[in-house]
């Protein structure tokens, strides 16, 4: 499955952050999360360890190595964390920014799902018309 890069811009400032959409959810690196929640990557990592100790996610996969392609075409593999763990960390470190990001991500995912459903409906409709023409011939 391909990974899409979607730009996110906080209402608090003008900086833009690349968010990665993969396997029907959003993913960020530790550095991306540090930008998002305005703290150090070390603080993100220590909060991640704290959340992991509590085993809040059980067997759920919260991080994954994902291949991404830069705008220059260069491919690389990075360690990414999914939306569930992003929110768990964000609500501990910067609840206002976490809430803003959650609302944005829900809007984007709903929009993406709607677009996919629209495309699938269009394909099914086209197939039905093709089969109808074939059967009537």
pLDDT in tens, the chain (137 residues): 578 889 998 887 777 899 999 888 899 999 999 999 999 999 999 999 888 887 667 666 788 889 888 778 888 898 999 999 999 999 999 999 999 999 999 898 888 777 776 655 555 566 556 656 566 65
Question: How much is the pTM?
Answer: 0.76
Give the burial string for 49-62 (b: 16+ CB within 10 Å, else e). eebeeeeeeeeeeb
State residue 55's pLDDT score.
66
CA neighbours closer than 13 Å in the CB half-sphere of residue 31: 4
Q: For residue 126, what are its two tokens?
A: 């086209």
- Number of domains the chain is built from: 1
The verdict on residue 72 lying in a domain is yes
The verdict on residue 63 lying in a domain is yes
Query: CB of 65 within 8 A of CB of 79?
Result: yes
Which structural domain, as residue segments, surrounds residue 76?
Answer: 4-109
The verdict on residue 102 lying in a domain is yes
Dihedral of CA atoms 48, 53, 54, 55 in degrees, nearest 10, equals 90
State residue 74's pLDDT score.
85
Query: CB of 21 within 8 A of CB of 11?
Result: no
- How far is the C-alpha of 6 from the C-alpha of 26, rounded, in Å? 9
The verdict on residue 136 lying in a domain is no
The verdict on residue 128 lying in a domain is no
């Amino acid at each position: 499955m391909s990974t899409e890069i979607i730009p996110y811009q906080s209402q608090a400032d003008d900086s833009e952050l690349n968010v990665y959409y993969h396997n029907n959810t959003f993913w960020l690196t530790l550095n991306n999360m540090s930008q998002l929640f305005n703290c150090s990557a070390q603080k993100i990592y220590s909060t991640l360890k704290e959340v992991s100790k509590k085993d809040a996610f059980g067997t759920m996969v919260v991080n994954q190595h994902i291949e991404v392609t830069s705008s220059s075409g260069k491919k690389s593999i990075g360690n990414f964390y999914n939306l569930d763990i992003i929110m768990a960390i964000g609500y501990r470190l910067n609840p206002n920014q976490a809430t803003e990001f959650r609302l944005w991500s829900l809007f984007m995912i709903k929009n993406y799902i709607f677009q996919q459903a629209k495309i699938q409906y269009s394909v099914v409709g086209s197939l039905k018309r093709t089969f109808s023409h074939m059967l009537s011939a």
